[in-house]
Structure 1
């Protein structure tokens, strides 16, 4: 009997073209569309060089200092690579997106709707935050007032741009990804030269920066991980979405390493050099713009720019070049965010209602949801959002990994027999995420999202033994399951 997917199997031209029309949203990626790990790595690296990651990196070091921020970045990067490699190999074997793969491993067909909600909240949240950061940078660049007319105009243009890129320009965005990454790094390098060569800032002072959080090494490490740790789950799930295009398991490894390395190590270093080294000049800039600001107020405002208006650093140090760069950098990342979010929404609708909506429609819906998140003030609550998101994404990843590698022992044999609801998986996800969020909300455990991961990995196999396959549910017809998977 045919299993989920054989990357080397042939498919008819007609089937391949039909799948390509919807970017294989609900079907397995055929061999003809498979790519090398280095080609695929451009996608997570594009996401990892976005403004929001720059903000997280800079904020991490501001709080914990350079040394402990970098140590935390390496630790989280290793975790992100491990999770991404495990999930990526699952997606490579099935040829399906992460949310569709969760139908087979972890949640069942209708149960995968829960995973789709988690993924959609994650990716559309980043879509919203990065649009909000661009908006703030645009206000600074043109010295515009924050009015409803400005909001409608700027957010309207941005939304239309993301929709167009995700529907018509995703291939262009991916192809231009390498060039945009290079431009972003070159402009960042220019900023670093401006700060340290022209303005005379001290590199050693940055590397020796101790952070604003008092206490010893563990306190600083814990603080840094509490900020950057949740990104391990996000980059792992993004990796899984693109790993379905991999040719071999080695390509998956390359793909899984690229995002965490750039996101958690390279961006920590670059963010430190720009944010910490450039802060004195940012304070001077703010005082020059507003003569009424005291040095203390300007310093507080400068610190607020790290997470609230990261693009300001590019505008202040690189002018028009920096402004254009943040838009170019965001365009590639936002195209991927809108694209991945649409995949999650497609699976959500299909798994619950048996309808197969066009991905283009879901791109529009996803952008509308992002606008609602912006209106709800997601940028102001970004730290809380990250922590709670980490509990959900790591719980989701933990259930899928435990099902595939522990319960099924790394085999896809028989996985065409899909439960409508895998109650053990759905229950574990909800409980694990709730435990982590409660621990953080009650200030019992700062790193509650890591507890969610442990609860999911350990708890799922135990609960699955009590609620074996078929408990309290039926199965999707075998022919239907195979048609959807292959």
Structure 2
């Protein structure tokens, strides 16, 4: 049974402008919904520091360990660190700009797109993009955990192990996400600490008994030819999509923020940990473990040469990151990769369900329970795993960057350039389709993808973002509000069906 529909807050200005009222005990259904389609009441809002556990949980997952470690292999430590700072800065700027918009409306990122950039029906496009992003991460991180589990137990990759392990993982993610944000945040704080502490232990073991040296790790030249800029560009191309991804997750959580200052704290926390902490851990956990991993692979496959084992170990950086924890730290490392995944997967499943709720509602005019969409989202993730998303990790990141930067750009251009940062709930009109935004988003995404696929520019997603900022305001003058569409009142847009 779905939660009772809450009416959006009335009045103008921030959705959080009302004085807090004493919290009331919520039913199980209400807890599962977490205001999926309505404005968050003041009594359920939290500080930026509390909310930051969500984004920090996401950026300390195995996928980010994989990207951080592989970045060092590509560019060497210092160039990878600079590239990470650039990606972190992009994530913070986008997250803060989008987070302020979500804070004003009090709704999730894909629902905010109904107000700014795409319209009510058009926001199905945003929901589809967000679902592609979050459920893709859900699939990738489950795949990495599966591969690490095989190493930990010495199991063969068979249909029996696939069905058994993925079934257990899927049930775990559903149970973690189905009862809402509070449980995810509470678990996230503990699991973040466990992950970071054990990562440090693994790093110490790499240098004390694993044969790694500080000089070798921090002066590694990187394998990308062409000098410092080419290597930094390669890192930004690899990790850039995560900047927009973290920004969109920030936007989802910003609706729970009490003040604008809390939004800024939330927007800064994830990118700061990703660019500062994870860049270092990627070097001292993944790269520093290379000698140990090479020895492990040669012991498992006696016919391998050192060179062949080194190539395989390099592939493990992106394809089996959890193995580095397991091989170096044994069962402690195995527990850590589960901790790293659990906190991130709870948020992935939660955010993905919000996107699916919006998608179903805008397409069918039917509101479905968020809990049901958690289950559907996990099924979609299993399909993506079966389709081989782990083997297409880098390509998927490239496509993701183009479409997510385009989505961010359209929303930002609509709110900050066309509307000049003004929002009055009593007079704001929500179109069914914002054709200027839809055309701009699709065109910009295609532009970025073509630039990257054709090897014209590896940072095509930045071209996508720039195109939306330039083109949307112009196209909005050609196709002003109401062109080729009708208007939807706010109550219908937020609580229909």
TM-score, normalised via structure 1 length: 0.96
1:187 aligns with 2:198: yes
User: What's the counterpart of residue 151 of structure 1?
Assistant: 162
Relative to structure 2, which stretch is displaced further, 408-417 or 279-288? 408-417
User: What's the counterpart of residue 4 of structure 2?
Assistant: none
Are residues 107 and 139 of structure 1, via their aligned partners in 2, closer, same or farther at CA, if it must alter by over 3 Å?
same
1:399 aligns with 2:410: yes
User: What's the counterpart of residue 47 of structure 1?
Assistant: 58
Preserved CA contact (<8 Å) 1:416 1:481: no
Q: Which runs of 5+ in 2 are unaligned?
A: 1-9
Shift of 1:61: 1.0
1:26 aligns with 2:37: yes
1:241-260, aligned counterparts within 5 Å? 241-260=252-271
Cα deviation 1:428-460 (Å, max 9, x = unaligned):
110000000011111111110111010111111
| Number of aligned residue pairs | 484
User: What's the counterpart of residue 362 of structure 2?
Assistant: 351
1:463 aligns with 2:472: no
From 163, 177, 185, the equivalent of 2:174 is 163
Shift of 1:200: 4.6
1:52-201, aligned counterparts within 5 Å? 52-168=63-179, 170-201=181-212
1:426 aligns with 2:447: no
Shift of 1:198: 2.8
1:446 aligns with 2:458: yes
User: What's the counterpart of residue 301 of structure 2?
Assistant: 290
SS in 2 for 1:379: helix
Cα deviation 1:15-47 (Å, max 9, x = unaligned):
987865510000000100110000000000000
User: What's the counterpart of residue 7 of structure 1?
Assistant: 16
From 201, 205, 226, the equivalent of 1:215 is 226
Preserved CA contact (<8 Å) 2:68 2:282: yes
TM-score, normalised via structure 2 length: 0.94
CA RMSD for the aligned pairs? 1.8
From 321, 340, 346, the equivalent of 1:335 is 346
1:273 aligns with 2:278: no
Preserved CA contact (<8 Å) 1:420 1:473: yes
CA distance in 2, matches of 1:408, 1:459: 15
CA distance in 1, matches of 2:488, 2:370: 23
Are residues 201 and 360 of structure 1, via their aligned partners in 2, closer, same or farther at CA, if it must alter by over 3 Å?
same
CA distance in 1, matches of 2:396, 2:210: 36
CA distance in 2, matches of 1:36, 1:172: 16
Shift of 1:177: 1.2
CA distance in 2, matches of 1:372, 1:4: 42
Preserved CA contact (<8 Å) 2:211 2:291: no
1:326 aligns with 2:337: yes
Shift of 1:193: 0.9
Preserved CA contact (<8 Å) 1:162 1:334: yes
Cα deviation 1:32-75 (Å, max 9, x = unaligned):
01100000000000000000000001111101111111111011
Relative to structure 2, which stretch is displaced further, 385-394 or 195-204? 195-204
Are residues 308 and 478 of structure 1, via their aligned partners in 2, closer, same or farther at CA, if it must alter by over 3 Å?
closer
Are residues 59 and 351 of structure 1, via their aligned partners in 2, closer, same or farther at CA, if it must alter by over 3 Å?
same
Preserved CA contact (<8 Å) 1:16 1:30: no
Preserved CA contact (<8 Å) 2:34 2:181: no
Preserved CA contact (<8 Å) 2:176 2:184: yes
Relative to structure 2, which stretch is displaced further, 31-40 or 198-207? 198-207
Preserved CA contact (<8 Å) 1:4 1:416: no
Cα deviation 1:353-372 (Å, max 9, x = unaligned):
21110001101110011011
Preserved CA contact (<8 Å) 2:96 2:267: yes
CA distance in 2, matches of 1:88, 1:244: 8
Relative to structure 2, which stretch is displaced further, 257-266 or 429-438? 257-266
SS in 1 for 2:117: helix
Are residues 109 and 15 of structure 1, via their aligned partners in 2, closer, same or farther at CA, if it must alter by over 3 Å?
farther
Preserved CA contact (<8 Å) 2:429 2:488: yes
Preserved CA contact (<8 Å) 2:32 2:371: no
Preserved CA contact (<8 Å) 1:4 1:482: no
